[in-house]
Chain A
Amino acid sequence: MSRFLLIVRRDLRIAFRQGGDSSMAVVFFVLAVVLFPLGVGPEANVLARISSGVIWVTALLATMLSLELLFQADYEDGSLELLALAPLPLETVVLAKCLANWLLIGLPLLVAAPLLAVLLHMSAAGFATLALAMALGTPTLILIGALGAALTVGARRGGVLLSLLVLPLFVPVLIFGVAAVDHAIAGLEARPLLLALAGLLLAALALTPWASAAALRQALE
């Protein structure tokens, strides 16, 4: 457990030392959401109607943009090889890095989301569900994205390729995430949808670290 936390702390420390990268994702998130009223018009009911979708899609894109960095730096300076040889299983290393990534990017997105929901005139009934759905969804996105990052580490045009790979895999999270919020706003039961999101998270936790580790071993061969 302590080794696991060690890697989490290491990634966090590196990120803070380097500054910029993680805050870029949140800034992108805010900017992209702000573009929508400018593009679509300030009518409150139009914005309210699209608010859940816009917030989810831009959160998805923001997460995706930050994924490239997950393994790239470690791969380039050789620390990934050392981590692979360490006594800690590579799968656990992947989980630790995902947790660090979530703390750096997922959590700020989660905090920013309700504020942006206000900007888009989302009905108050949706806020709690939005926060809960994103709390369940953002870790899932990062876990799935980590697989994409592991597969493309060291590839040419890695960033664009990563997007092409992970976006189809993000679709279920997007669909259930938006539906949960929309249901809450309409006064319908959102719980089954939140349970579906929780199910996706559990599945991602169980399956992706194993696949990501396999992909990383590929890259290091």
Chain B
Amino acid sequence: MKRVMHRFATPAQFLRLSAAILPWSAGLTVVLFAVGLYLALIGSPPDYQQGESVRIMYVHVPAAWMAVFVYAVMAAASAVALIWRHPLAYVAARASAPIGACFTFIALATGSLWGKPMWGAWWVWDARLTSVLILFFLYLGYIALMNAFEDQTRGERAAAILALAGAVNLPIIHWSVEWWNTLHQPASMARLGGPTIHGSLLAPLMVMALAFGAYFVTVLLLRIRSELVARKVRAIRLVRVQAAEEARLTRQARHAEA
């Protein structure tokens, strides 16, 4: 395990690896979305009860799955960062947060647009939507905390602890909201999507889910590369400032002697 991690420890190694992977993940993303959207919009039948509005599910459900998955990635990266102090782990966590927040927002917006024709309201305190809303706040809090300090390292470390605290809490929150929802849900309201999804709806859903996953990998790799460049810039600037400061002090000393 440690050997695997050390192989990708340096930015240079990661940059080389990501440069090799990126064209493939980008290409895969495009292909999967093309196939997925075709299947979702044209190649699959409308739902018996929900009609054509079920097409929204092919975007809403993958987005919600990714929102949770990205949080898991963030939490895992944070754990690696705190335990093994792997340099890339902080970068990975930092890079994934905005992507997760975007997925969460998409899940909320599409969920609302799906809810209006289905339940007659733009927002319902359905267990799923409520949990995703809270997840959205967890993401925002994480991003805010990460950027709240002058010292970037402090921010990243604090955010890493928060990510882990959130990871522990997320199942509890989800469970409590689910329970709360069944408590308050009027008996007439049907559970969205039902406990089983019909086979013909499954294929487009899976392809779209994979498409979202490929998109995540692509954007994540790009964001990590970007963050590594930014760190390099900061490092060079720091060295230059220190060198200039040293030069200034030596000059002062020399003039004082003279």
Contact = CB atoms under 8 A, between A and B. Distances in A.
Interface residues of B, number: 28
Contact of B183 (A158, A167, A179, A218): A179
A211 B161 contact: yes
B151 to A, nearest CB: 9
A155 B134 CA distance: 23
B173 A168 contact: yes
Nearest to A153: B158
B118 interface: no
Given A165-B162, A175-B180, A219-B154, A151 B145 contact: yes
Contacts of A154: 149
Given A164-B137, A169-B166, A218 B148 contact: no
A168 B154 contact: no
A151 B176 contact: no
A200 B173 CA distance: 11
A216 to B, nearest CB: 10
A151 B158 contact: yes
B157 interface: yes
A207 B176 contact: no
Interface string B144-185: 110011000010011001101110110011011101100100
B161 to A, nearest CB: 5
Given A171-B176, A175-B176, A215-B161, A207 B168 contact: yes
A221 interface: yes
B148 A156 contact: yes
Contacts of B176: 171-172, 175-176
Nearest to A165: B141
B137 A168 contact: yes
Contacts of B175: 172
A42 to B, nearest CB: 25
A218 B157 contact: yes
A171 B141 contact: no
Given A179-B183, A207-B168, A172 B173 contact: yes
> Chain A interface residue count: which class?
20 to 34
A170 B62 CA distance: 27
A165 B162 CA distance: 8
Interface string B180-197: 100100000000000000
A151 B140 contact: no
A185 B45 CA distance: 48
B173 A171 contact: yes
B26 interface: no
Interface in A59-89: none
A179 B123 CA distance: 22
A171 B171 CA distance: 12
A17 interface: no
Contacts of B168: 207
Contacts of B173: 168-169, 171-172
Contacts of A176: 176
A221 B158 CA distance: 12
A151 B161 contact: yes
A186 to B, nearest CB: 11
A174 to B, nearest CB: 9
Contacts of A158: 148
A218 B161 contact: yes
A152 B148 contact: yes
Contacts of B137: 164, 167-168
Nearest to B149: A155
A9 B177 CA distance: 38
A171 B169 CA distance: 10
- List the 7 closest pairs (A to B, CB-CB), nearest first: A172-B176, A155-B148, A165-B141, A175-B176, A164-B141, A175-B180, A168-B137
Interface of A: 147, 151-152, 154-158, 161, 164-165, 167-169, 171-172, 175-176, 179, 200, 203, 207-208, 211, 214-215, 218-219, 221
10 contacts: A151-B161, A156-B148, A157-B148, A161-B148, A164-B144, A168-B166, A175-B176, A211-B165, A219-B158, A221-B154
Given A152-B148, A154-B149, A164-B140, 6 more contacts: A152-B158, A169-B165, A200-B172, A208-B165, A211-B164, A214-B82
